[in-house]
Amino acid sequence: MQLSTVWFILIGFLFAGYAILDGFDLGAGVLHLVVARDDAERRAVLNAIGPVWDGNEVWLITAAGALFAAFPLVYATVFSGFYLATMFLLGALILRAISIEFRSKETARLWRLGWDVGFSGASALATLLFGIALGNVLRGLPIDPDGTYRGGFGGLLNPFSLSVGVLTLGLAMLQGSTWLALKTEGALQDRARWARIVAVGVVLGASIGSTVIARTDAPRVFANFGNPLAWVGPFMTANAIVFLLLTLRFNQEGRAFLFSSFVVVGLAATAGTALYPNLVPAVDAARSLTVDGAHSSDTALTMMLIVALIGMPIVLGYTSFIYWKFKGKVRVDEAGY
């Protein structure tokens, strides 16, 4: 296997890890005003993600850094083409972070409500923008001979990409609701369980809808699925949804979160399969940025791989320790948000 393909898989792993981990705290933000009805419940939602949310975002920083180092042409094309959308995304992530941290600095009702709205709205906007960006990459971008995106901001808002945005929003809601059902109790937990059922419906509807829309708006996403091995991702997704529904019936919260995460992994594998060997498909296929044509030197990829093999076990070990340390149901007290 070529080094460039290895890095394609590793970067996919990092983005999938981010989608699972930051997916549940983004989803908790999306559902913040829906499942939590009073100040104590809203503090419980924040306490459910409080020990881990900022660490989860490190996965996004790591994935973006690895993309820049391993495939600099891709980084340059995507971020220059999505510049305005990227500013909106960064603004949403910043607003979300300060909403979490500033909310409990004052006890005034309007103060806290304002930050609650900011937290929820920013979480939903960030999730939707992630999905729209992914949908555009899967669909193919209008790239000129110099490798520059020429579609404008309005060109990003096409039917397929918007449907993928809704799918991503549904996945975040699913992750967030399963996490809240796992970490909370009482009426808040009951509402999280109902939100989880709605989220499953959104994921199923958006999955079917985006597939149907892709037939006319993004036909290139089906190009690789003539190979039976390409169906591993869809097969994993379908099975994970079936087992998730079984766990919901018996309120098995830990297993529900596990299978919800498998749904994310399956869809990430499906997206990766649809992309390969491209990293950024172009409307004119000859201008696509491919795994073999857009990577750094083999020396750089080798050195990065050595660092990754040393660093990733440390990151995984630290992440596992933090989640173990803060396991169990959340409590609202003076030490929390």
Cis ω on the peptide bond leading into residue 51 (within 30° of 0)?
no
Average pLDDT over residues 188-203: 94
- CB atoms < 10 A from the CB of 296, how many? 18
Indicate the average pLDDT of the chain: 89
Res. 171 pLDDT band, cuts 50 70 90: very high
pLDDT, tens digit (0-9, with 9 covering 90-100), for 286-335: 888 888 888 888 898 999 889 888 888 888 888 888 888 888 888 877 76
Query: Quick check: is 233 in a domain?
Result: yes
For residue 171, the enclosing domain spans: 3-325
Single out the residue of 14, 22, 132 nearest to residue 82, CA to CA: 132
pLDDT value at residue 14: 92
Return the HEC string of 125-137.
Answer: HHHHHHHHHHHHH
Q: Mean pLDDT across the stretch 209-237?
A: 91
Residue pair 168/130 in contact (Cβ under 8 Å)? The answer is: yes
Which H or E run includes 219? none
What tokens appear for 214 in the block? Answer: 């892709």
Asked, for residue 173, whether it belongs to a domain, the answer is: yes
Helix (H, G, I), strand (E, B) or coil at 318: helix
Residue 336 lies in a domain: no
Domains: count for the chain: 1
pLDDT of residue 331: 82
Determine, yes or no, domain membership for 23.
yes
Over residues 4-16, the pLDDT tens digits come to 899 999 999 999 9
Task: Output 56 or 165, whichever has higher pLDDT.
Answer: 165
Dist CA 4 CA 209 (whole Å): 33
- Out of 67-71, 92-96, 109-113, 187-191, least confident range: 67-71
- Residue identified by tokens 């097969």 is 235
What's the Cα-to-Cα distance from 300 to each of 80, 101, 307, 315, rounded to whole Å?
23, 39, 11, 21
- Whole-number pLDDT of residue 31: 96
Residue 335: per-residue pLDDT: 66
Could you identify the residue written with the tokens 């220059």? Answer: 80
pLDDT of amino acid 330: 85
Determine, yes or no, domain membership for 60: yes
> Above 90 in pLDDT, residue 192?
yes
Give a yes or no: residue 301 inside a domain: yes
> What percent of the chain lies above the pLDDT cut of 90?
55
Handedness of CA 128, 130, 133, 135 (dihedral sign): negative
- Residue 245 forms part of a structural domain: yes
Q: Is residue 332 part of a domain?
A: no
